[in-house]
Amino acid sequence: MIITIKKDADEKNLESLIAWIKNQGLEVNISRGEFQTILGLIGDTHQIDVDLINGLNIVDKVTRISEPYKNANRKFHSEDKIVDINGVKIGGGHFQIIAGPCSVESADQICFIAEQVKKSGAKLLRGGAFKPRTSPYAFQGLRGEGLELLTEAKKQTGLPIVTEIMNASHLPLFENVDVIQVGARNMQNFELLKELGSLKKTILIKRGLANTLEELLMSAEYVMASGNEDVILCERGIRTFETATRNTLDISAVPMLKKMTHLPVIIDPSHAAGIASLVHPLSLAAAAAGADGLMIEVHNDPDNALCDGPQSIRPEEFEKVSADVQKILKIVGKHMD
Ligand code: PEP
Ligand code: MN
């Protein structure tokens, strides 16, 4: 529930309204703007008599909000959230590219790719150690060893690392990981989300293959309600009737999410299309649509990659994507720094 206070409301009456609300067992999020003060009531507001509050002379209007997400709601946080990962900022005008292979395969592979993408402007390194594969017979990732190799690449390049967790019991292995990724298939693993909410690490949540934006925000809400506000959302393509691409990039998710939430929103064009040649145009589209970043799969030898070779671009192609994205960023007033 949102209570909009009249512009010249008496401060004493406002204070007593706030005290009364708190007395009802609710939390109040007070947003004082230049023209309006807004009270966001957090908790079960069913027992609140809307007519009673509407009748107060300091109240302009009372709106029952239907969105079940409060912490992730733009209505309570007009300012863009800026997530800071060891000095690398995402959101609020800061645009970043997370790049690296689908899977960590060897020390040479991950360190070489890390150096290459860093040269072209990537500020974060990705690489899967625990891989969610459709087939149990496919390469499952180097698991603990993969995390060690990522740590090695981080030491060598200084790039913070982003990698996926599939099971909360693996958390002790993630100590050196800077951004923990929740993959599309785990977006609604609520117990995992709650565990991640108790950490002081950035959590990157990828949209599920068949999940709505509201469901994605409810997943963010799980992490935030458990105390961790450092959440980044990622649109990575959804299932549609189209079969020409691996998934369908929902580009409108970017401006829509920007309305719904203050959290940073990034695009993963690699999993969205599943086709390396589409990564360049979709990356430009993402930047133009207002995304705060990209997550791109880059491999030195896509033909022999152990996972997702067909959608992986080579370091020299990545250089071009990064350069062209920066041209778009100038137009939309964002920067990679
Ligand atoms: C990935 O980023 O490696 C991945 C598996 O992505 P998604 O969860 O979006 O399929
Ligand atoms: Mn992949």
Atom 9, ligand 1: residue with shortest CA distance: 184
Residues in the ligand 1 pocket, defined by CB under 6 Å: 102, 128, 132, 164, 183-185, 206, 236, 268, 271
Q: What is the pLDDT of residue 169?
A: 97
pLDDT in tens, 199-224: 999 999 999 999 999 999 999 999 99
Q: What's the CA-to-centroid distance between 102 and ligand 2, angstroms? A: 4
Spacing, Cα 271 to ligand 1 middle (Å)? 7
With 70 as the cut, is the pLDDT of residue 46 above it? no
**Which ligand has the minimum distance to the alpha carbon of residue 183?**
1
- Fold equal for 2-63 and 83-332: no
Report percent pLDDT > 70 for the chain: 99
Mean pLDDT of 112-117: 98
> Nearest 5 degrees, angle CA 270-CA 274-CA 278?
70
Q: Which residues pair with 3 in a beta bridge?
A: 39, 62
| Six token digits for residue 37 | 């003060």
Q: What confidence tier does 33 reach under pLDDT thresholds 50, 70, 90? A: confident
Question: What is the SS3 assignment for 65?
Answer: coil
The predicted pLDDT at position 311 comes to: 98
Residue 166 in this model has a pLDDT that exceeds 80 = yes
Is residue 157 over pLDDT 90? yes
Tokens of 265: 């929103």
Predicted confidence at residue 35, as pLDDT, reads 81
Mean pLDDT of 68-89: 94
For residue 268, give the ligand 1 atom closest to its CA: 9
- Please tell me the residue having the least CA distance from ligand 1 atom 10: 184
Average pLDDT, the chain: 96
Q: Report the nearest-CA residue for atom 3 of ligand 1.
A: 102
- Quote the pLDDT of residue 34: 82
Residue 284 has pLDDT above 90, yes or no: yes
pLDDT over 90 at 285, yes or no: yes
User: What mean pLDDT comes out for the span 311-320?
Assistant: 98
What CATH architecture does domain 2-63 belong to? 2-Layer Sandwich (3.30)
Residue-level pLDDT at 37: 93
For the segment 251-270, the average pLDDT, to the nearest whole number, is 98
Produce one character per residue of 253-284: b if its CB has 16 or more CB atoms within 10 Å, e if not. Answer: bbeebbebbbbbbbbbbbbbbbebebbbebbb
Per-domain boundaries in the chain:
2-63, 83-332
Choice between 81 and 43, residue whose per-residue pLDDT is larger? 81
Residue for token digits 């509407």? 54
Q: Name the CATH code of domain 83-332 (choices 3.20.20.70, 3.50.50.60, 3.30.930.10, 3.65.10.10).
A: 3.20.20.70
CA of 147 to the centre of ligand 1 (A): 16
- Phi and psi dihedrals of 132, rounded to 5? -85, 95
Distance CA 64, CA 6 (A): 17
What pLDDT, on the 0 to 100 scale, is given for residue 65? 74
Report the C-alpha gap between 221 and 69 in whole angstroms.
6
The pLDDT value recorded for residue 216 is 98
Asked if the model's pLDDT at residue 66 lies above 70, the reply is no
Strands 202-206 and 179-182: parallel
Residue 151, burial from CB neighbour count under 10 angstroms (0-12, 13-18, 19+): middle
Q: Are strands 2-5 and 37-42 parallel, antiparallel or unpaired?
A: antiparallel
Closest-CA residue, ligand 1 atom 6, reads 183
Q: Which of 293, 298, 337 is nearest to 316 (CA)?
A: 298
Determine the distance separating the centroid of ligand 2 and the alpha carbon of 270, expressed in angstroms: 7
Note the pLDDT of residue 337.
Answer: 85
Looking at ligand 1, which residue's alpha carbon is closest to its atom 4? 183
**CB neighbours of 196 closer than 8 A, spacing ≥ 6?**
165, 168, 180, 182, 203, 223, 226, 228
Q: Which atom of ligand 1 is nearest to the CA of 185?
A: 8
